[in-house]
Structure 1
Amino acid sequence: MQPWEDASKMMLCGCKDFPTCKVDGYTLRLETDDPPSDVKDIARKELRETPELVEQAMKELRELLKEEEGLYCPLENDAWLVRFLRPTKFYPKSALELVKNYYSFKVKHKDIYNGLVPSSEQNVFAHDVISVFPKRDQLGRRILCLYLGKKWKHNKVCLDEIYKGAVLFMEAAMIEPETQICGASVIFDMDGLSLAQTMQFTPPFAKRIVDWLQDSVPLRVKAIHIINQPYIFNMVFALFKPFLREKLRNRIIFHGTDRKSLHKHLDPSCLPKEYGGTMDVPLVHSNNWYTIMSQLEPEYEKINSYGYKKKVQE
């Protein structure tokens, strides 16, 4: 085990006890364990991750960040450095650009990010329009699901709230070593999407989402699955298309109601029955995750304390 895989050192706030939540006998938690051997194999093959390269890359990235004027970040936290090195395959200069993009994006959209903590976003969790499935997919990826059709009461939960909920989930996922290595899959369930809901989407919102996914998230978003989409969804996707680069565009897969198509990419064992799955644990609702994330409030506050032109803490 690397020193930065010690759970107490993986949190910026130094928290030693990670919260859990019982869901019908299943224990929900952030998975901060040492990655299993097959996941370590993925890290070696896909990310070039070896102990020697990790040590050298952390050293180089730390020195590069010291030269970045006006940026305050946890340079001495090895686990934090690795969060940016893994998605950039341990190339320090690429990791530096990702760090800069990550914090610059927060400055650009400060109306969204300032003071963003779970307790300020209880509404989106209460309406259960975004959640993470309890089981990873067959490739070790976390599965984030957004319900933007009939489950979404757009007059009670706005798109910015859903976006902020997704950011909070992604920040939590960034802590997990297995997610850092294997990445995440995203499902957009558009079942029941209405014309009134499509009118909530705007080009600026679409650009923000795409810029975030393409350049500013230190997480490997490996696939985006669009399911149950009605014809009217074409109006929504048309807003996003101009901003998509080839790499992300090729990772967007449209399935409609074809469950066999979905199962070619996501094994039924990691999906609930409503998606033709055979998942043997209860489906986790947003309020279950909120129970965990609200207890991690000090971690989110610590995350918010870093960035460009932030005051250096003693």
Structure 2
Amino acid sequence: MISSYSQSSIRPLSEGLQKVAIEELNEVPSRIDSDIAALKEWLEKQPHLCSCKDNQFLLSFLRGSKYSLEKAKQKIDRFYSLQKAIPEVFNEHRLSDDPQVLEIIRMGVILRVPLDKDDTGPAVTIIRAGAYDLNKFKFQDIIRVGSMFGEIMMMEDDNATVSGYLEIMDMTGVTGANLFALQPQLLSKFSAYADEAMPTRQKGIHFINVPKAFEVGFKSLLGWFPGKIKERVSVSSDPEAIFERIPKHYLPKEYGGTKGTMQDIISSMEAKISSYKDYFEESQHFGTNEKLREEPELFKHEESHFGLDGSFRQLVID
């Protein structure tokens, strides 16, 4: 079954990103329409799968699979089936007008950094781990909001779908209580989901402003990340480390940059998530029904951090 979410036309890429898509993702612009049509035809034949059929949504999976139709099918199936394995993130609060979601956005816990139109680099998100009230929110609530913007990114951020994305975890002001609240197994579980199911390519997770007192202990948390993702993680106490990842002129003044303020970003993000109200309401009905699955799941379980039933496998920590 396919959702009724409105179909969009294909958004043309900038010249620079189109070059990257052709050279690195095997994109053939003249073939995009037929590839999307092939995915839709496949989805129509999957009784167990209720999926968004927006053209840009499906295109993100094609790009994330370097235009292998079979891999794109696996990703879409995994995208929805693995969400069931993380119910603390993917639940009834995952709505644009949920008070908890809006409060987290307004606190500036998650900041989507806008890039220039001619930039061909990865999309950038800053997560301010010490900026929320531990007595009011759990880390899973923060990840939930991040996952919502991850899907918005899939739909409309060409830098993300072509060049991937970076996450900057700002640990300013964190305490031992904050680190405990990070829920390392959840962080590991969601990282595995992002790697196995999300079509946008994660280019790195960079922890900055890590208090010296926690630096050694914090690095031990890296054992919770899947191996491939662990290689993309860095930890630093240097306040200047952010400039190694993001040019100053992209950052708000609170981070030493010149591009507006954090409040400018927050206001833009609140407006953006509001514009996706219908999408997230319908997303409550997207997913898989394993009782209706006619063929074995396409994904090879030995390659996954999730077991046959979709439950997360406990990682062995060195």
Pairwise TM-score range, normalised by the shorter structure: 0.7 to 0.9
Contact 1:193 1:233 in 2 (8 A): no
- For 2:183, the equivalent position in structure 1 comes to 202
- For 1:51, the equivalent position in structure 2 comes to 29
Please, which of 64, 68, 78 is the counterpart of residue 101 of structure 1? 78
Instruction: Please give the alpha-carbon distance, in whole angstroms, between the structure 2 residues aligned to 1:263 and 1:112.
Output: 31
- For 2:129, the equivalent position in structure 1 comes to 148
Q: For the structure 1 residues 242 and 62, does the alpha-carbon distance in structure 2 shift closer, same or farther, using more than 3 Å as the test?
A: same
Please, which of 296, 305, 308 is the counterpart of residue 276 of structure 2? 296
Identity, in percent, stands at 21
> Is 1:13 the counterpart of 2:17 in the alignment?
no
Q: For the structure 1 residues 122 and 263, does the alpha-carbon distance in structure 2 shift closer, same or farther, using more than 3 Å as the test?
A: closer
- For 1:175, the equivalent position in structure 2 comes to 155
Please, which of 218, 234, 259 is the counterpart of residue 253 of structure 1? 234
**Matched residue type, 1:79:** Q
**CA displacement, residues 91-130 of structure 1 (integer Å, 9 cap, x when unaligned):** 1111111111110112222343233112122231232211
Shift of 1:141: 2.8
Task: Say what the alpha-carbon RMSD is for the aligned residues.
Answer: 2.9
Contact 1:83 1:218 in 2 (8 A): yes
Contact 1:206 1:239 in 2 (8 A): no
**Matched residue type, 1:71:** L
Q: For the structure 1 residues 267 and 226, does the alpha-carbon distance in structure 2 shift closer, same or farther, using more than 3 Å as the test?
A: same
Give the TM-score normalised by structure 1: 0.78
Alignment of 1:35-114 (within 5 A): 35-75=13-53, 77-114=54-91
Shift of 1:266: 2.1
- For 1:243, the equivalent position in structure 2 comes to 225
Q: SS of 2:181's equivalent?
A: coil
Q: For the structure 1 residues 101 and 306, does the alpha-carbon distance in structure 2 shift closer, same or farther, using more than 3 Å as the test?
A: same
Q: For the structure 1 residues 235 and 39, does the alpha-carbon distance in structure 2 shift closer, same or farther, using more than 3 Å as the test?
A: same
- For 1:280, the equivalent position in structure 2 comes to 259
Q: For the structure 1 residues 124 and 262, does the alpha-carbon distance in structure 2 shift closer, same or farther, using more than 3 Å as the test?
A: closer
Instruction: Please give the alpha-carbon distance, in whole angstroms, between the structure 2 residues aligned to 1:281 and 1:81.
Output: 33
- For 2:97, the equivalent position in structure 1 comes to 119
Contact 1:198 1:233 in 2 (8 A): no
**Matched residue type, 2:141:** E
Shift of 1:272: 3.0
Instruction: Please give the alpha-carbon distance, in whole angstroms, between the structure 1 residues aligned to 2:184 and 2:205.
Output: 19
**Matched residue type, 1:174:** M
Contact 1:224 1:252 in 2 (8 A): yes
Contact 1:142 1:185 in 2 (8 A): yes
Shift of 1:303: 2.8
Q: For the structure 1 residues 35 and 229, does the alpha-carbon distance in structure 2 shift closer, same or farther, using more than 3 Å as the test?
A: same
Q: SS of 1:223's equivalent?
A: strand
Contact 2:215 2:236 in 1 (8 A): no
**CA displacement, residues 260-281 of structure 1 (integer Å, 9 cap, x when unaligned):** x54343222212344443x333
**Matched residue type, 2:20:** I
Would you say how many aligned residue pairs link Structure 1 and Structure 2?
Answer: 281
Instruction: Please give the alpha-carbon distance, in whole angstroms, between the structure 1 residues aligned to 2:147 and 2:235.
Output: 23
> Is 1:192 the counterpart of 2:184 in the alignment?
no
**CA displacement, residues 182-227 of structure 1 (integer Å, 9 cap, x when unaligned):** 2222110001210111121334312222222221222122222211
**CA displacement, residues 233-263 of structure 1 (integer Å, 9 cap, x when unaligned):** 54444334243223x222223343252x543
- For 1:139, the equivalent position in structure 2 comes to 120
Gaps of 5+ in 2: 291-318
Instruction: Please give the alpha-carbon distance, in whole angstroms, between the structure 2 residues aligned to 1:50 and 1:33.
Output: 14
Contact 2:21 2:27 in 1 (8 A): yes
Shift of 1:296: 2.1
Contact 1:117 1:297 in 2 (8 A): yes
- For 1:19, the equivalent position in structure 2 comes to none
